[in-house]
Amino acid sequence: PMGSERMEMRKRQMSATQETPGAAQAPHSTGNRGSNACCFCWCCCCSCSCLTVRNQEEERARRTSHELQAEGIPNCEESPAPTLEEVNAWAQSFDKLMLTPAGRNAFREFLRTEFSEENMLFWMACEELKQESNKSVIEEKARLIYEDYISILSPKEVSLDSRVREVINRNMLEPSQHTFDDAQLQIYTLMHRDSYPRFMNSAIYKDLLQSLSEKSIEA
């Protein structure tokens, strides 16, 4: 199941950082549900108006949750199709892979299969934060990054050691473009050491390389 695979990936990432931060927990209380009996009467009929209202509210909550999840995952970066030379360069170093939008998109697609796409999303959010100069915008973006990727209550929490978390908590007292620099470097290193080698051996990379090679031969 997806949940167990994500847990295995999180364990491997925590092992790669050589220090285990607090486990992410996202308790969701379903509340105390009563019997099927109407709250205004003793009947259990399905046509009762209060049951209809409750069902509508539950459906609305489910729909809102799905919409928020979809909005919370930004689309891939716009980029031209990679050339054979570019794809070959990705194998030379992780830095070259991360330098191009096409490389980041391909790597992000691979991370999604391992349920660790949040690492790339966090890195990209930090890069975007560095481009800001407006103080109020910086504070708002820093708050969102913290809630999305640092908070232990977030399902997209990234694996960071306790030292880096302490630095972030101090920096959040007065957020700047560089609030998450230490954390961004740690996640970059984690992706380099843990995910990049597997990406180079993945079907995603090999299929792309083969496709471009065949097109090059045909041309």
Tokens 């097109």 sit at which residue? 215
Residue 182 falls within a domain, yes or no?
Answer: yes
Residue 197 falls within a domain, yes or no?
Answer: yes
> What are the E-state strand segments in 47-110?
none
Residue 75 falls within a domain, yes or no?
Answer: no
Domain ranges, residue 156:
84-216
Taking the C-alpha atoms of residue 199 and residue 45, their distance in angstroms, rounded to an integer, is 56
Model confidence, pTM: 0.68
pLDDT at site 35: 39
Residue 109 falls within a domain, yes or no?
Answer: yes
pLDDT at site 37: 39
pLDDT at site 52: 42
Residue 154 falls within a domain, yes or no?
Answer: yes
Q: How many domains is the chain partitioned into structurally?
A: 1
What one-character DSSP code corresponds to residue 153? T
pLDDT at site 218: 81
Neighbours of 195 (CB within 10 A): 23
Residue 98 falls within a domain, yes or no?
Answer: yes
Residue 57 falls within a domain, yes or no?
Answer: no
pLDDT at site 127: 97
pLDDT at site 8: 64
What CATH number does residue 155 fall under? 1.10.167.10
How far from 206 is each of 84, 91, 96, 108, CA to CA, in Å?
Answer: 12, 11, 17, 15
Residue 9 falls within a domain, yes or no?
Answer: no
pLDDT at site 98: 98
Spans of the chain below 70 pLDDT: 1-75, 219
